[in-house]
Structure 1
Amino acid sequence: MVIHALVAASLAFSSVPAQTATVNCARVKCLALTFDDGPGAQTSALLKALSKAGAKATFFLVGKRVEERPEVARQIVAKGHAIGNHTYSHAALPAHSDNDILDELKVTQEVIEEATGRRPTMFRPPYGQTDERVLGLAAQTELAEILWTGTTLDWQLRDTKKIKATVLKLAKRDGVILMHDVVPQTVTAMPGILKELKKRGYHLVTVPTLLRGKGPTAGKSYF
């Protein structure tokens, strides 16, 4: 009877999923790496590099690209990364009507939720172009606006050494760095970037982790 009880207890314990360790960014040096415009052809390779380094990131997804690669969007979520809305067609939002902006955001919400089972609570305006009207419409869509503290301009650099040097220059505690997972050189540079950032004592976390439970709040702009 004792043996049976021990076996039963062991089985019960093994059925409980292991808890994911949380990072307290109030106590340790945190940095959020963010990637826009995907999912793309290079995203899966980037996910492997992040997993190998034990790093988490935030991906702002374009709706039409999620439709093209829904399995990659699912992989992002399955690996424990955060996701956000980057509009359906990568539109410069302030130039559009209220209805068009709402369509860009709402359709992308639906596409991402259908692909991943997750409904984003964050969005990033393409090109960083935003205003109070855009922010108000995002609030109607229950989205917080996430900007950045530094951008690599990796789409322009297209050079692994320069991209790495730029990331390391921009890195700072509680920073949010903008990159693109559709830039092959960024993905190629990532293992070296992750190794050096960890060497410098950074904990690489998602944007929600960086916010320390104080967001994201719909209609609010961060960073």
Structure 2
Amino acid sequence: TIEMYFSSFLPAFLAFSGIVTASAIPSPFLESRQSSPAAGVVYSKCSKPGVFALAFDDGPGQYTEELIKTLNAAGAKATFFFTGTLYGCIYNRAAAVKAAYSSGHQVASHTWTHPQTLDSMSVSQLTIEMRKLETALVNIIGVKPTYMRPPYLKTGGNVPTAMRNLGYRMITDSVDSQDWNGLSVSASEQKFRSAGPSTPDGKGHISLLHETYANTVRDLVPRLIKWAKENNLKMVTVAECLGDANGAYAKGNGGGAQTC
């Protein structure tokens, strides 16, 4: 391609001309491609330091709007991995989904029904799971997400192929609060403090939390906001923490009966 030719020819030409003697100049075209998260690939941590991605699964639920108010008051951005039917029909909580989106939080996919057997499903079955939620989200907020977190973090089987075909980046985590496992708020908080403000290679954390637990929303999240501020961490969406702040959504197709 032209940019590949440019990136290989220009450094040699400049060096020959005596204009530069340092190492090859990196191509801005190639850098852009390398920094953009790829569909069908698993990301468990941020791509840069100094950030913290609060990421919540299983909503929208009864505490979602309360959580959004807490985040907004703290100047924090978060990511919501929504399902279609896990805690009731998503259309019945459309106001919460709209509130998350309009507040600048990232709306992402956690599949339509939250199946336990995600990694044993066919590509066709996985596509149906994702498309149903896409349609609902387009109907509610006008766009479809390009990020997803697989239920139970199951990334095997046909999941990578299906997500690559559908254009989804796959997210797991670097710190699991284990609120889903009955861990106390203090014990969950300690998991983050023990992990430190960054991963061993200096990148920001992507968290695993659930907005469906009152203790998480009302007690753990304020503690984590305080912890992040103590460590001068900017609380950002998953897309932003991966250097993809403008790539969280794509155009999609809505329509159909707005029921579950």
Same fold (TM over 0.5): yes
Q: Are the aligned partners of 2:134 and 2:144 in contact in 1 as well (CA < 8 Å)? A: yes
Which deviates further from its counterpart, 107-116 or 72-81? Answer: 107-116
- Write the letter of the residue equivalent to 1:105: M
Structure with larger Rg: 2
The answer (yes or no) to whether the contact 1:143–1:217 under 8 Å persists in 2 is no
| 1:87-138 Cα deviation digits (max 9, x unpaired) | 0000131122222111001111111111111210111110001225211111
Kindly provide the amino acid, as one letter, of the partner of residue 40 in structure 1: G
Counterpart among 214, 225, 228 of residue 194 in structure 1? 225
CA distance in 2, matches of 1:156, 1:100: 28
C-alpha distance in 1 between matches for 2:136 and 2:80 = 15
CA distance in 1, matches of 2:188, 2:108: 23
Alignment of 1:109-124 (within 5 A): 109-124=134-149
**Superposed counterparts of 1:38-117, under 5 Å:** 38-64=59-85, 65-91=89-115, 92-117=117-142
Partner amino acid for 1:184? A
**5+ unaligned residues in a row in structure 1: which ranges?**
1-24, 219-223
Distance 1:66 1:140, change over 3 A: same
Deviation at 1:200, TM superposition (A): 1.5
> Which residue of structure 2 lines up, in the alignment, with residue 6 of structure 1?
none
Name the CA distance, whole Å, in 1 between partners of 2:194 and 2:55.
16
For the 8 Å contact 1:109–1:119, the answer to whether it is kept is yes
Read off the aligned partner of 1:76 and give its amino acid letter: A
Cα distance change of structure 1 residues 213 and 88 upon mapping to structure 2, 3 Å threshold: closer
CA contact (8 A) 1:157 1:163 kept: no
**Cα shift at 1:27:** 8.0
- Residues 120, 157 of structure 2: 8 Å contact kept: no
In the alignment, the residues of structure 2 paired with residue 52 and residue 168 of structure 1 have an alpha-carbon distance, to the nearest angstrom, of 23
Taking the aligned partners of 2:95 and 2:248, their CA distance within structure 1 comes to 28
Runs of 4+ deviating beyond 3 Å: 25-28, 213-218
Structure 2: how far apart are the matches of 1:117 and 1:187? 27
Is 1:137 the counterpart of 2:137? The answer is: no
Structure 1, residues 31-87: CA drift from partner, whole Å, max 9, x if none? 111000001101111111111110001110002242331110011001100111100
Conserved 8 A contact 1:168-1:193: no
Do structure 1's residue 155 and structure 2's residue 185 form an aligned pair?
no
Please give the secondary structure, in 1, of the residue aligned with 2:81.
Answer: strand
| Number of the residue aligned with 1:211 | 242
**How many angstroms apart in 2 are the aligned matches of 1:134 and 1:198?**
36
In percent, how many aligned pairs have the same letter? 28
Amino acid at match of 1:181: E
Change in 2 beyond 3 A, CA 1:68/1:166: farther
Provide closer, same or farther for how the CA distance between residues 205 and 102 of structure 1 changes in structure 2, counting only shifts above 3 A: same
AA aligned opposite 1:75: A
Compute the displacement of 1:192 (Å): 2.4
**Which deviates more from structure 2 when the two are superposed, residues 110-119 or residues 121-130?**
110-119
Normalised to the residue count of structure 2, the TM-score between the two structures is: 0.69
Label 1:156 to 1:112 Cα distance change in 2 as closer, same or farther (>3 A). Answer: same
Aligned to 2:25: none
Given the superposition, is the C-alpha separation of residues 159 and 27 from structure 1 closer, same or farther in structure 2, using an over 3 Å criterion?
closer
Contact 1:28 1:203 in 2 (8 A): no
What is the deviation of 1:161?
2.1
Change over 3 Å in CA distance of 1:49–1:154 after alignment to 2: same
Q: Which stretches in structure 2 are left out of the alignment for 5+ residues?
A: 1-45, 250-260
Q: What CA distance in whole angstroms lies between the structure 1 residues aligned with 2:158 and 2:125?
A: 12
SS at match of 1:145: strand
Deviation per CA, 1:116-174: give whole Å up to 9, x if none: 11210111110001225211111221211111112111111353222222233334241
